[in-house]
Amino acid sequence: MSGAQYDQESMDRAAEALRSPRGTVVLTGAGISVESGIPDFRSPGGIWSKYPPEEYATIDAFYANPDRVWELWYELADSLRNVKPNPAHLALADLEEMGVVQAVITQNIDALHFHGGSVNVVEYHGSMDWLVCPACHRRRKLGLDQRALGAPRCECGGYMKPDIVLFGEVIPHQALHHADALARRCGAFMVVGTSALVYPAAHLPRLAKESGAVVIECNTAPTGLTETVTDIYLEGSAGATLPALVRRVRGG
């Protein structure tokens, strides 16, 4: 489904909810980046079909054979080089600049929220823009110039990994704590491009609702949240719906 299918009453209600003095927090998933040309990893023909995650995306696989694991991450980094933020990313940055959105919590690793202008971003699963050394925790920007040499090495001598949460690793405590705190104190919680079924991120909309927030959902089709958690449902592509929501908020 493309375009926006929401009704005007729902859009009005969503715009009003976003004006909450307690602020708005946004949770995003793969659906917001699909419009930038990034396929869902799990979709037919997605990267998991070429690189099975149990062989290339676990922390055990990294320690066992970092050069092999980096075949996946170099290819993914190469595929993301020319990907640009889409109107949905830009709309969320606009809402943040307007003082409406307090923060974006994203399950994506593509860093497109930062590239689109958002400042307060909790990258739940990390970012492909960066490398980290598991031994000394040194970080640096990812570059493709070392691709022919295999897994990048740290100054300490160890192998560096993408600064993302591999299967078998836990979400960093700081990200978990920050996301929970944001969900507890916001007045509106907007879910964009995700079914929010995978924990621990899945509990955030429910936590926000239990804390008194209005839950707004923007997805191309109903999800498990729609009938149980969502207060306002905006059906349609994020790239159409979110800019329309920005215009409605600006219009008063």
CA separation for the pair 151, 163 (Å, rounded): 14
What is the three-class DSSP state of 72?
helix
The answer to whether the beta carbons of residues 189 and 205 sit under 8 Å apart is yes
Task: Rounding to the nearest 10 degrees, give the CA dihedral for residues 4, 223, 33, 163.
Answer: 160
Tokens representing residue 165 in the block: 């949460």
Residues 77 and 28: their CA atoms lie apart, in Å, by: 20
**Please, which residues bridge with residue 106 across strands?**
28, 123
**Joined tokens for residue 84:** 């640009």
Angle at 181 between CA 175 and CA 183, to 5 degrees: 100
Which positions are annotated as active-site residues? 125
Tokens of 237: 């592509």
Task: Write the DSSP symbol of residue 147.
Answer: G
Question: Helix axis angle, 238-250 relative to 87-97, nearest 10°?
Answer: 30
For residues 240 and 214, the answer to whether their CB atoms sit within 8 Å is no
Q: Measured in whole angstroms, how far is the alpha carbon of residue 77 from the centre of its chain?
A: 16
